[in-house]
Amino acid sequence: MKSKPKIFILLPDGIGLRNFAYSEFHTIGEKENFDLVFWNNTPFDLKTLGFTEIKIGNSKSHPLTETYKNARKQIELNLNIRRIKDRVYDTYRFPFSYNTVKKAIKSSVTQLMTFTHSSPFGLARIRKKIRQEERKTLYYHQCLETLQKEQPALVFCTNQRPMTAIAPLLAAQELGIPTATFIFSWDNLPKATMVVETDYYFVWSDLMQKELLFYYPYIKKEQVFVTGTPQFESHFDKTKILSRANFFKQHHLDLDKRYICYSGDDVTTCPDDPKYLEEVALAVRELNKKGHSLGIIFRRCPVDFSTRYDQVLEKYKDVITPIVPLWERIGEGWNTILPTPKDIDLQMNVIAHTELVVNLGSSMVFDYVAHHKPCAFVNYDVGQKRITNWSVKKIYDYVHFRSMPNKEAVLWINSPAEIGAIIAKGLSNPSKVVGNAQKWFEVINQHPPQEASKRIWQAINAIISK
C-alpha cells in the first residue's frame, strides 16, 4: 500500500491555530489522504484535539537575526517609497526604542544598516545575512535532525511573520523538502512583514498575488497559489449557531431587545476605543428614548486584557453587555495569548445574533457580510485624544483600504452626532451596503470562501506531485 504523504504544518506561533488547527483544514487533509503532523512551537497542546504533533523545544534565533529582520523591514519600506512615491509606507514603521542600553544599541545598529543598505543590492545582502546567521544556530541543526528523521513531503508554514519560522524552513530547503507559507492577513504585504522565504506562497486573492509579486520581485508567479483564507470558513457552518433563546440565556441578554456589536481594537490601533464605545452607548440610549429597543454586545480585541474599558462598561451597563472572547493566556508574552476552538463558535454566534457591527476599520466587515449584515466604521477623532498625533485618517489611509471597490461598502460614522442615525439606517435598510461589502469581500478573498482549506490542500498536492 502506498504510504500517505506526510505534511508538516509549521506553527511558529499561535497566529496559525485558528486557521489551521481549529478549522476544517485538518479534517479535509485527512480525507484527501495526507498524513498531517503539526510542528508546534506554541504552548498549546494539540494532542488534546487528537492531532499528531512534534513540539519544537528550543526555538532560539541567532542574536543578530532580529536586528537584520528589523533593518530588512525598514529597507523594504524605503524602497517602496522610492518606487511608488507614496509616504504611506512611513506609517508602517514602529518607533525605535532607547529605554535600555541593549535596545539603544539594537536601534542604532538597525538605523545604520538601513542607511547603508537601502538599495535592492543592500536588501539582498541583508536577506543573505539572515540565512547565514540562522544556519549557525542550534535551533537550525535540531530542525535538520527532526526533518531527517520524519522526512515530510512538504513543510507548510502558517504565518510569514515570525523569526522562529526561518530556521525550520531553511533546514527543509537544505534537505530538498519543498516549503510553502501562508500570508496571514489582508494588510500584511504593504507593511513589509515578510520574514520567511519559501518555495511557494499561498495568498487570499488575485489582489494579494499582485501585491506579493510587486513588493517581492524575486518571487515568480508560478510560486504563488490563490487559495483564500480559512479565517472565514466557520461562518458557513450553520450547525454551530445556537437558537436565539439559548444564546440570549447563556449571556444574560434581553429577548425584547435587538443588539448591535461593538468590536474593540487593540490599544495601538485605537487608543481612544473606550471613548468611541461610550459615544455609541450614548447614541443607543437616545435611540431607545425614541422607541427603539436596542442593546450593545461588546466584544473586546482578544489580546486586550487591559482595564481601559471598565469605567465605560460600568457606567453604561444598562445598554452594554460584554461577552469576553474565549482566548487563553498561557504565558507572559502577547504571543502566548492564544485562541481556543470555542471562541470561533462564540464569535460566529455573536455575529448571528446581532444586527450590525461598529468598529474602527477591521476585517470584521467581512465576518459580518458572510452573514449578510452591515458594518459601520468609526471615522472621526474624539475631542480629547489620548495620543495627540494619532488619527483615524492614518488608519484609513493604509494601503489595504484602497482595495474597497465602493466607499459605500460600509456605513461611515463621521461624527458622534451621526451615530444614532447611522445605526438606525443599518437596522432599517442594510441591503445596499451589504451588497457593496460583498463585492469588497470578493476582491480581498477568493470565493467561495468556505472552500479555502480545500484549495490549500489542492495546491499542496500539486506541489508534491511535481
- 50 and 176 part of one domain: yes
Over residues 310-331, the mean pLDDT reads: 93
pLDDT at 389: 86
- The CATH code of the domain that includes 26 is 3.40.50.2000
Residue 26 pLDDT greater than 80, yes or no: yes
Average pLDDT value for the chain: 95
- 225 and 83 part of one domain: no
Least confident range from 34-48, 325-339, 346-360, 415-429: namely: 325-339
- 281 and 429 part of one domain: yes
- 85 and 114 part of one domain: yes
Kindly tell me the sign of the dihedral angle through the C-alpha atoms of 456, 349, 369, 214: negative
Over residues 116-130, the mean pLDDT reads: 98
DSSP assignment, residue 410?
S
- 346 and 211 part of one domain: no
- 193 and 55 part of one domain: yes
The string of pLDDT tens digits covering residues 223-277 is: 999 999 999 999 999 999 999 999 999 999 999 999 999 999 999 899 999 999 9
Torsion of CA 371, 374, 378, 379, to 10 degrees: 130
- 174 and 303 part of one domain: no
Over residues 287-304, the mean pLDDT reads: 96
Domain presence at residue 391: yes
CA distances from 358 to 48, 58, 379, 435 (A): 36, 42, 11, 17
Give the burial class of 281: count Cβ atoms within 10 A of its Cβ; 0-12 exposed, 13-18 middle, 19 or more buried: buried
Nearest CA to 148 among 178, 180, 174, 181? 174
Nearest CA to 337 among 300, 299, 305? 305
| Number of domains composing the chain | 3
Q: Phi/psi of residue 58, each to 5°?
A: -140, 70
Give the pLDDT band (50/70/90) at residue 334: low
Of 117, 133, 149, which residue is a domain's last?
Answer: 133
Of 133, 165, 190, which residue is a domain's last?
Answer: 133
CA distances from 234 to 19, 66, 184, 229, 342 (A): 10, 35, 17, 11, 12
Domain presence at residue 334: yes
Omega within 30 of 0 (cis) for the link into 43: no
The string of pLDDT tens digits covering residues 405-456 is: 999 999 999 999 999 999 999 999 999 999 999 999 999 999 999 999 999 9
CA distances from 421 to 2, 157, 461 (A): 64, 45, 51
Residue 362 belongs to domain spanning: 236-444
Instruction: Count CB atoms within 10 A of the CB of residue 414.
Output: 13
Nearest CA to 212 among 194, 237, 231, 238? 194
Domain presence at residue 1: no
- 53 and 77 part of one domain: no
Domain presence at residue 291: yes
Nearest CA to 130 among 209, 53, 65? 65
- 240 and 105 part of one domain: no
β-strand pairing of 200-203 with 179-182: parallel
Domain presence at residue 193: yes
pLDDT at 338: 83
Cell 498536492, located at residue: 461
The string of pLDDT tens digits covering residues 128-163 is: 999 999 999 999 999 999 999 999 999 999 999 999
- 211 and 240 part of one domain: no
- 198 and 71 part of one domain: no
Helices (H), 33-100: 65-84
- 177 and 261 part of one domain: no
Of 133, 163, 181, which residue is a domain's last?
Answer: 133
